[in-house]
């Protein structure tokens, strides 16, 4: 089995320091031209059906970018990037920049007159008149605290401002979000991500616990006695004499040793159970090498692996493949040296770097005799490649909802834009499965789990083939 294929599903940042130019119009132009030249999926996505819409969007946003402040530029760029519907394409904020420079960059963000002391005085004075959401909210680690107070101009609007944060990306009094209350239901009317760009976050409020979903839970009064784990480490659990659950939150290489150890440690159990459930929900991917110890237990017949092409431009070679990767095993280091040599020999071409491959194992395990894989729209990239390989087994059934749709274009390249705060990320490799119109709706499950089902594990345990 080829261990090396698509290890670059991971993001390998490349920072090329250059003269600082944070003019949004210039950065937008750079992004457009760079993607046209280097994005492997460009000709799939921009085709006769989409050409006019793409050109109109590009021209419109270029005009907007000319008058957009640098600290608001990410949102404009991401609106253009959304046209491609590619989970491996993005503009990220370079947090490795000097802290003082980052603070200056975000210094013009909206602030409130409220601070911690003013809010405490207000809460004490009007304690019988305040809304349940008003107060100071903190996470378990106590690293972030937000103050929430009613907007004096609108009785059903609340301002969420920073009381405590990292002091670099966010500083006290900056407005983090606004909440609207409608018939006792709270919803964000605006929310700003870590890089200050608009973000479609969700919120639920239950007494003194506010669940901000994407960034975790915050508490107004007492904190939970035991810190909540947010580990991405794999877990194995025996649910009964016949059923076991393997939960894989991430396929990033930093968890590979844990996954391998878990599979080796529990091999006697896995080989003697009837039903193995593998939970890949919200597994955003990582590297194919991270699941090599799992595949043998799923295997029933040879597994076909598709061809993969790399767009061999100078930028892709420099920013995506030539950067040293000291943490990779020596055999992979040597392999990538050969890949770089091949890419340089095929500059400007869509080079077939990964021929079609067939994975074969010497043994087929009788047990587990049934394997169920849970997936949802958060299952992306390498986890989708795992699903594509696993579903070729007669043991395997897929449960849940369509996967993310981030598997056609892989091996992310990171290029620094004219503004040192911005990094452009896009894929350089293309699987042959990429459809001609560039769409990728995700992998469809064999059994779709209804929206009203809350316990997916229980659903799969009870499901009869």
pLDDT along the chain (465 residues), means of 10: 42 44 97 97 93 97 97 96 92 94 94 95 92 91 91 92 94 95 88 90 78 78 61 89 94 86 94 95 84 92 90 94 71 80 94 89 93 94 91 96 88 94 95 70 92 93 85
Bridge partners for 191 per DSSP: 177
Over the range 303-320, which residues count as b (16 or more CB within 10 Å of their CB) and which as e?
A: bebbebbbbbbeebbebb
The CA-atom distances, in angstroms, between 276 and each of 273, 368, 397 are 7, 6, 11
Domain with CATH 3.90.226.10 in the chain: 235-411+426-462
Q: Does domain 8-93 have CATH number 3.65.10.10?
A: no
Q: Which of 337, 310, 315, 326 is nearest to 16 (CA)?
A: 315
Is residue 135 within 8 A of residue 123, CB to CB? The reply is: yes
The rounded Cα 142 to chain-centroid distance in angstroms is 25
Is residue 409 within 8 A of residue 434, CB to CB? The reply is: yes
Which segments of 61-132 are extended strands (E)?
90-93
**Residue 79 to residue 174: CA distance in whole angstroms:** 24
Q: Which helix (H) or strand (E) holds 102?
A: helix 99-105
Give the per-residue pLDDT at 306. 83
Q: Which of 76, 89, 72 is nearest to 34 (CA)?
A: 89
Quote the Cα angle for 304-310-316, to 5°.
Answer: 150
Domain with CATH 1.20.920.70 in the chain: 8-93
Give the per-residue pLDDT at 379. 92
Query: Could you tell me whether strands 370-375 and 396-400 are parallel, antiparallel, or unpaired per DSSP bridges?
Result: parallel
Is residue 219 within 8 A of residue 138, CB to CB? The reply is: yes
Q: Which of 399, 443, 406 is nearest to 278 (CA)?
A: 399
Which segments of 73-202 are extended strands (E)?
90-93, 135-138, 145-151, 154-164, 175-182, 185-191
Give the per-residue pLDDT at 310. 94
Give the per-residue pLDDT at 348. 93
Is residue 310 within 8 A of residue 343, CB to CB? The reply is: yes
Is residue 66 within 8 A of residue 60, CB to CB? The reply is: no
Give the per-residue pLDDT at 12. 40
Give the per-residue pLDDT at 243. 95
- Locus of tokens 């894929």: 427
Say how many residues make up the chain.
465
Give the per-residue pLDDT at 91. 95
Give the per-residue pLDDT at 254. 82
Give the per-residue pLDDT at 162. 96
For 235-411+426-462, the fitting CATH number among 2.40.33.20, 3.40.50.2020, 3.40.50.720, 3.90.226.10 is 3.90.226.10
């Amino acid at each position: 089995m080829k261990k090396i294929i698509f290890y670059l599903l991971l993001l390998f940042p490349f920072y090329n320091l250059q003269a600082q130019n944070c003019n949004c119009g210039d950065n937008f132009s750079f992004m457009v031209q760079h993607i046209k030249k280097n994005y492997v999926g460009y000709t799939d996505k921009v085709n006769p059906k989409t050409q006019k819409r793409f050109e109109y969007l590009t021209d419109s946003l270029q005009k907007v970018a000319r008058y957009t402040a640098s600290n608001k530029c990410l949102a404009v760029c991401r609106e253009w990037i959304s046209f491609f519907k590619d989970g491996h394409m993005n503009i990220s904020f370079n947090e490795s920049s000097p802290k003082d420079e980052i603070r200056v960059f975000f210094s013009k963000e909206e602030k409130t007159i409220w601070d911690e002391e003013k809010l405490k005085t207000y809460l004490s004075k009007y304690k019988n008149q305040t809304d349940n959401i008003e107060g100071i909210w903190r996470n378990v680690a106590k690293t972030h605290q937000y103050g929430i107070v009613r907007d004096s101009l609108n009785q059903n609007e609340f301002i969420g401002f920073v009381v405590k944060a990292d002091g670099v990306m966010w500083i006290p009094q900056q407005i983090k979000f606004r909440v609207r209350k409608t018939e006792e239901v709270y919803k964000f009317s605006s929310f700003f991500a870590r890089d200050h760009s608009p973000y479609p976050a969700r919120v639920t409020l239950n007494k003194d616990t506010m669940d901000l979903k994407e960034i975790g839970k915050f508490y107004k009064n007492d904190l939970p006695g035991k810190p909540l784990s947010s580990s991405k480490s794999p877990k194995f659990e025996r649910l009964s004499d016949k059923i076991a659950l393997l939960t894989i939150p991430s396929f990033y290489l930093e968890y590979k040793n844990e996954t391998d150890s878990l599979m080796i440690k529990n091999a006697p159990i896995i080989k003697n159970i009837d039903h193995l459930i593998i939970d890949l929900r919200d597994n955003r991917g990582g590297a194919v090498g991270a699941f090599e110890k799992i595949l043998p237990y799923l295997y029933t017949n040879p597994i076909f692996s598709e061809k993969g092409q790399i767009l061999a431009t100078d930028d892709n070679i420099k920013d995506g493949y030539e950067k040293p990767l000291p943490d990779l095993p020596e055999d992979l280091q040597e392999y990538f040296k050969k890949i770089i040599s091949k890419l340089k020999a095929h500059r400007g071409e869509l080079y077939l770097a990964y021929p079609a491959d067939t994975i074969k194992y010497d043994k087929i395990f009788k047990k587990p005799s049934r394997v169920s894989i849970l997936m949802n729209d958060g299952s992306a990239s390498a986890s989708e490649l795992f699903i594509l390989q696993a579903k070729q087994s007669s043991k395997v059934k897929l449960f849940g909802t369509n996967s993310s749709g981030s598997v056609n274009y892989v091996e992310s390249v990171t290029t620094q834009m004219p503004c040192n705060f911005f990094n452009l990320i896009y894929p350089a490799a293309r699987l042959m499965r990429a459809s001609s119109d560039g769409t990728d709706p995700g992998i469809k499950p064999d059994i779709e789990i209804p929206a009203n089902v809350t316990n997916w594990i229980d659903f799969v345990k009870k499901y009869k083939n």
